[in-house]
């Protein structure tokens, strides 16, 4: 393999397996992996903890006024083999994955001031390349010059089943209908918001993995990476 380092941008709808493939690729290439959804989730958790947002109301201005009090960091956990999300010094990796956060995160991520802060931090992390970043606007806004852009899709039903299994496996009490509804609602909000809606970049390669095994997916994507190196 050459010493050349590239930026790999992975975008797509929620629960399309972006993070699984991104983690696998980063490990294989010895690259940094950044889960930008975790950053939007951590800002949402902050807004929930400070009562700026709940299921019925959202004081956007309060969040905007306090945005500089939110400090986000990723710290590598060698036991897990990936970096965990810290909000103002506290490990929030588990809290940010709950259905409560999933229900509110699209509203928080539609705020331009939130996007501006997080996009800036993401661009800083990718300055030296050698990075795999997943999210919704990586190939379009964060790194429009990324050498490899992937756009992941899968049917809503397949995605809801995957997310349901993940949450049940970690012991959460959820029902499938609630998850499916959340997946569909987020698809809608994420792709219709005014600021940086989820869309496929013109030069992104689309991957429908509804019926593709992990190994096949990994092999196809590593071959695309090797072409770029
Ligand atoms: O990838 P995820 O499901 O953990 O992302 C959570 C939410 O964050 C998603 O519904 C939309 C938002 N998000 C975003 O707007 N831009 C990103 N780059 C990543 C996530």
In tens digits, what is the pLDDT along the chain, a chain of 229 residues?
567 899 999 999 988 989 999 999 999 999 999 999 999 999 999 999 999 999 999 999 999 999 999 999 999 999 988 899 999 999 999 999 999 999 999 999 999 999 999 999 999 999 999 999 999 999 999 999 999 999 999 999 999 999 999 899 989 999 999 999 999 999 999 999 999 999 999 999 999 988 888 899 999 999 999 999 9
Q: Whose CA is nearest to atom 4 of ligand 1?
A: 37
Find out whether the beta carbon of 105 lies less than 6 Å from any atom of ligand 1. yes
Q: Return the closest-CA partner of residue 92 out of 51, 38, 17, 36.
A: 38
40 lines ligand 1 (CB under 6 A): yes
Centroid of ligand 1 to alpha carbon of 2 (angstroms): 32
In what side-by-side order are the strands of the sheet with 82-87?
72-77, 82-87, 90-91
Q: Classify 22 as helix, strand or coil.
A: helix
Percent of the chain residues topping a pLDDT of 70: 99
Cβ(106) – ligand 1 distance below 6 Å: yes
> What pLDDT digit, counting tens, does each position of 177-203 carry?
999 999 999 999 999 999 999 999 999
By most ligand atoms within 8 Å of CB, the mutation choice from 109, 156, 181 for ligand 1 is: 109
Query: Which of 20, 27, 8, 5 has the alpha carbon at shortest distance from 138?
Result: 8
Nearest CA to ligand 1 atom 6: 37
Cα–ligand 1 centroid distance for 133 (angstroms): 12
* Tokens 């009490």, residue located: 173
Give the position, in ligand 1's atom list, of the atom nearest the Cα of 190.
11
> What are the strands of the beta sheet with 148-153, ordered from one edge?
32-35, 131-135, 7-12, 148-153, 205-208
């Amino acid at each position: 393999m050459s010493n050349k380092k590239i930026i790999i941008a992975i975008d797509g709808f929620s629960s399309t397996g972006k993070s699984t493939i991104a983690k696998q690729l980063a490990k294989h290439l010895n690259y940094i992996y950044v889960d930008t959804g975790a950053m939007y989730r951590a800002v949402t958790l902050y807004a929930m903890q400070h009562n700026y947002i709940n299921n019925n109301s959202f004081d956007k201005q309060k969040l905007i006024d306090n945005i500089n009090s939110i400090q986000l960091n990723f710290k590598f956990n060698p036991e897990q083999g990936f970096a965990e999300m810290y909000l103002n010094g506290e490990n929030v990796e588990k809290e940010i994955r709950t259905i409560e956060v999933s229900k509110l995160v699209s509203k928080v991520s539609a705020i331009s001031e939130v996007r501006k802060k997080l996009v800036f931090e993401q661009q800083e992390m990718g300055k030296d390349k050698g990075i795999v970043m997943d999210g919704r606007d990586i190939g379009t806004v964060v790194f429009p010059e990324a050498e490899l852009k992937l756009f992941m899709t899968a049917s809503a039903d397949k995605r809801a089943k995957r997310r349901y299994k993940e949450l049940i496996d970690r012991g959460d009490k959820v029902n499938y209908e609630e998850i499916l509804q959340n997946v569909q609602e987020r698809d809608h909000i994420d792709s219709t918001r005014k600021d940086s809606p989820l869309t496929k970049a013109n030069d992104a390669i689309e991957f429908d993995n509804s019926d593709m095994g992990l190994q096949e997916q990994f092999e196809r994507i590593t071959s695309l990476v090797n072409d770029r190196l």
